[in-house]
Amino acid sequence: MNKILAINSGSSSFKYKLFSIPDETVIAEGLGDRIGISGSTFDIKLSDGTKHQEKVALPDQETAVKLLLNWLIKYHCISDLKEIVGVGHRIVNGGEIFPDSALIDKNNLHKIFDLTDYAPLHNPAEGRGIKAFMKLLPGVPQVGVFDTSFHQSLDPVHYLYSVPYEYYDKYKARKYGAHGTSVRYVASRTAELLNRPLKELKLIVCHLGSGASITAVKDGKSFDTSMGFSPLAGITMGTRSGDVDPSLLQFVMKKENITDFDQMIDILNHKSGLLGISGISSDMRDIEDRDDKRSQLAIKIFINRVVRYVGSYLAEMQGADAIVFTAGIGENSADVRAKVMSSLSFIGLKPDLKANQSRGEKIISTPDSKVKALIVPTDEELMIERDVVRLAHLN
Ligand code: ADP
């Protein structure tokens, strides 16, 4: 049977999922961790739940890809490499060049590397991952699935910053957004669950994971989104600050004798958000049960920023048909969902608090609720697999 690999190459990790097509069954998944650093590991989880992990040297992406292909044969996920008929790769930034997922040839691979300034940690690692697959599986279609593509439908009113226009003209300095693949999946699944055409719906998708964003979806397209030029903007996240007044950075840098702007950005990316405010952890689970003031404040700020963005998108879209929760916190924290929903009673959202306590895909508002609320677990890898099928004409 034919198989498709969905790949997410991070700067030092490499996540994969193997699907069989056309039935979209997951045959294996796993992670190559600490690529290029000491203490690397590689693991695989098979469809029967069996797991294997080994400490192995993973000096680069190519070694990780070689190992993956060996393991897929060793653990009988495939009997021949020829069974792999396509590989899809998550790419963080496709700039204005990729308004949709695309087949990646040498020319498009160059373009992914050329976009390095827009995602310095991610695009090069993802590009190296594609290069390794091109070498080890020659002739097999490689497809890039860009986190930014779904948001290319934004109007300039939403994607431009109020700074001199020449920065956009010269450098394409603008909002790109992220989580597009997740939002695209969640929005189409929501339409199915509501039994209504996506094109007729106004949705607000709350992707609340360790990275978190809010996206307004109108007529089946991204209308506005909270992340910006980079995934640092928008709502409070696990370790990222979300929106900050840039003058505050100048002030703090002077006070703390920070002379390197990269260091300040690093603080905003890795030491802020839930971690920065609570001083305890970036993980919602760690702070949800604590009653110290700063942990409680971190959660309150998190919820406030979600409500703030949802509120602004309600105003911009003149209402919404549904508010949808997804990703780690959105799918698992009944408390966060309940608090966000209770702030939205003014729009006619009536939570079904019993349904909200359970997990998995479901409607969590009452039948008479004017605005619906749903939990829709995201599945970015499935979206990647489907894009490979679509673009490589495998159906
Ligand atoms: P990402 O893909 O952005 O790394 P996830 O979507 O996996 O993140 O979300 C991870 C986050 O989800 C964790 O940091 C944690 O805060 C949150 N999370 C996971 N499970 C729960 C839970 N049961 N209750 C509350 N928060 C949870």
* d(C-alpha 144, C-alpha 87), whole Å: 9
Mutation test residue for ligand 1: of 182, 235, 332, 336, the one with most atoms within 8 Å of CB: 332
pLDDT at 273: 97
Domains of the chain: 3-146 (3.30.420.40), 196-380 (3.30.420.40)
Q: Is the CB of 210 under 6 A from ligand 1?
A: yes
Burial of 148 (0-12, 13-18, 19+ CB in 10 A): buried
Q: How far is the CA of 209 from the centre of ligand 1 (A)?
A: 5
Angle at 312 between CA 308 and CA 314, to 5 degrees: 115
Q: How far is the CA of 284 from the centre of ligand 1 (A)?
A: 7
From 33, 147, 321, 387, the catalytic residue: 147
Which tens digits make up the pLDDT trace of 10-21?
A: 778 889 999 999
Q: What's the pLDDT at 37?
A: 87
- Per DSSP, the three-state class of 169 is helix
Least confident of 52-56, 60-64, 336-340, 374-378: 60-64
* DSSP strands (E only) in the chain: 3-9, 13-20, 25-33, 41-46, 51-55, 84-91, 102-103, 142-146, 202-208, 212-218, 221-225, 322-326, 362-363, 372-375
pLDDT tens digit sequence for 189-243? 999 999 999 999 999 999 999 999 999 999 999 999 999 999 999 999 999 999 9
Cis peptide before 22 (omega within 30 of 0): yes
CA triple 224-226-228, angle to 5 deg = 95
d(CA 4, CA 145): 14
Q: Is 332 in the pocket of ligand 1 (CB under 6 A)?
A: yes
| AA identity, residue 152 | Q
Q: Whose CA is nearest to atom 19 of ligand 1?
A: 328
User: Between 293-317 and 334-342, two packed helices, what is the crossing angle to 10 degrees?
Assistant: 50
- The label of the residue with tokens 């990646």 reads 104
Question: Which two three-digit tokens encode residue 373?
Answer: 């609320």
Helices 180-194, 380-391: crossing angle, 10 deg rounding: 90
Instruction: State which ligand 1 atom lies nearest to the alpha carbon of 288.
Output: 25
- The residue type of 212 is A
Sheet architecture: strand order including 212-218:
221-225, 212-218, 202-208, 322-326, 372-375, 362-363
Distances (CA, A) of 188 to 46, 368, 376, 384: 28, 23, 10, 14
Nearest one of 231, 194, 200, 193 to 215, comparing CA atoms: 231
Query: Ligand 1 test: best mutation among 270, 285, 289, most atoms within 8 Å of CB?
Result: 285
Q: How far is CA 222 from the centre of its chain?
A: 14
pLDDT class of 364 with cuts at 50, 70, 90: very high
What residues pair up with 221 in beta bridges, in sequence order?
218
Q: Is the distance from the beta carbon of residue 285 to the nearest atom of ligand 1 less than 6 Å?
A: yes
Confidence of residue 121 (pLDDT cuts 50, 70, 90): confident
**pLDDT tops 90 at residue 142:** yes
Mutate to test the pocket of ligand 1, among 31, 207, 210, 278 (most ligand atoms within 8 A of CB): 210
Q: Three-state DSSP class for 146?
A: strand
User: What predicted TM-score, i.e. pTM, was given to this entire model?
Assistant: 0.96
Beta bridge partners of 351: 365
* β partners of residue 375: 325, 362
CA dist., res. 357 & res. 102, Å (int):
40
Cα distances (angstroms) measured from residue 304 to each of 3, 174, 235: 44, 25, 9
pLDDT reading at 183 higher than 90: yes
Alpha carbon distance 136, 289 (integer Å): 48
**Is residue 245 flagged as an active site residue?**
no
Pairing mode, strands 142-146 and 102-103? antiparallel
CB 130 within 8 Å of CB 142: yes
Atom 2, ligand 1: residue with shortest CA distance: 209
Q: Is the CB of 359 under 6 A from ligand 1?
A: no
Rounded to the nearest whole angstrom, what is the distance from the C-alpha of residue 378 to the centroid of ligand 1? 12
State mean pLDDT over 41-53.
95
Task: Give the model confidence (pLDDT) of 243-298 as tens digits.
Answer: 999 999 999 999 999 999 999 999 999 999 999 999 999 999 999 989 999 999 99
The mean per-residue pLDDT over the stretch 29-36 comes to 91
pLDDT for residue 368: 97
Q: Is 211 in the pocket of ligand 1 (CB under 6 A)?
A: yes
With a 6 Å cutoff on the Cβ, whether 129 touches ligand 1 is: no
Note the pLDDT of residue 388: 98
Closest atom, ligand 1, to C-alpha of 282: 14
Residue 300 CB less than 6 A away from ligand 1: no
